[in-house]
Amino acid sequence: MNHKWKKKLFSHLEEEELTFTEKDRVETLHKIQDKNSKKKPMLPGKSRRYAVPVLGAVMMVMLVILLLMPDLNFNNELAQDSPDEQQAAQQDTSSFSVFLMGRDAADETNRRNSLNILLTYNSDKNSINVVSIPRDAYVDIFNAQGEVIGQDKLIHASAYEKSPEPAIAAVSGLLDVPVDYYAALPEESIYEKLEIAKEDVQNNRQIWSDMGKLLEDQLSASDIKTLLEESSATNMTGNTLSLMEDLHATSIKVIDMAKGAEPKVINGIYYAEIDQKLVEETSHTLNKHLEKE
């Protein structure tokens, strides 16, 4: 029983004598019953005082769950797709170009590229283009800063600078194609794949004119991958090379730019000037293969 209510209920008795008649007993019982009947409506109010905070807490928890559910579902989707589907999606759209440079391994001071081969690879089509560029091709020569410093044979593009950038810029500038990677290796390794001897190349100039045909007849997709893996200097990563794992099943298209080259003599020096129409056609083919057009 509430002491405050009890004090109020019996305050009128404090100044009177504590003697109860039958009438007093009945009146007192009636007062108690009336008081109790007045307290009952208070119970729902008291329940409401506790129910409101509890209901608010429940609503807050539900709101947090609703807010977090999209993120949780999104993360679950990523977790389900990321291992295989994301990698497959990346491979399906991966295409890149590689400039393959063949150098004389016997002369470490000789930085000239006797062999210049531009490769474009498209994993979606599972195909590769091989472009054989004559070493005597008349091209713009760049310095390491990407500035044109003159015109000369492609074989001399790498002789002016130790870094591979000038040779890369010369090939990219000639064909108007972005070069993503480079790979330098001994020219003897390429000769071996083509089943020719270095001495034969040195003694027979015609072999340079037939290089595109040799590449088409002798160089397989697995040979290309092996050459790239054995490169002595490259900026290709293992992940990039892994995209070419199925090269054994690849269709190879060889573009021989020597077929469109005409002799050009300047100051008594022989150059090979490539037909501009062939240059434009090759540029279109490569950029389309790289999905740049």
> What gap in Å lies between CA 142 and CA 166, rounded to an integer?
5
Residue range 225-254: mean pLDDT, rounded = 84
Q: Has residue 176 got a pLDDT over 90?
A: yes
Percent of the chain at pLDDT exceeding 70? 65
Strand order in the sheet with 95-103: 233-234, 181-186, 95-103, 113-122, 127-133, 251-256
Residue range 186-199: mean pLDDT, rounded = 90
pLDDT averaged over every residue in the chain = 76
Q: Is 26 helix (H, G, I), strand (E, B) or coil?
A: helix
Give the position of tokens 């020569």: 141
| Cα within 13 Å of Cα(69), Cβ side | 6
In terms of DSSP bridges, do strands 95-103 and 181-186 run parallel, antiparallel, or are they unpaired? Answer: parallel
**What are 72's two structure tokens?**
């949780």
> What gap in Å lies between CA 208 and CA 210, rounded to an integer?
5
Select the more confidently predicted residue: 247 or 72: 247
Answering whether pTM is above 0.75, one says no
The single-letter code of the amino acid at 88 is A
Q: Has residue 181 got a pLDDT over 80?
A: yes
> What gap in Å lies between CA 31 and CA 44, rounded to an integer?
23
Q: Has residue 10 got a pLDDT over 80?
A: no
Output helix, strand, coil percentages for the chain, rounded to the nearest 5: 55, 20, 25
Residue range 104-121: mean pLDDT, rounded = 82
> What gap in Å lies between CA 136 and CA 208, rounded to an integer?
9
Q: Has residue 77 got a pLDDT over 50?
A: no
Residue range 160-180: mean pLDDT, rounded = 92
Q: Has residue 13 got a pLDDT over 60?
A: no
Q: pLDDT for 20-61, tens place per residue?
A: 455 555 565 565 555 555 544 444 444 445 445 555 665 665
Q: Has residue 162 got a pLDDT over 60?
A: yes
Select the more confidently predicted residue: 86 or 168: 168
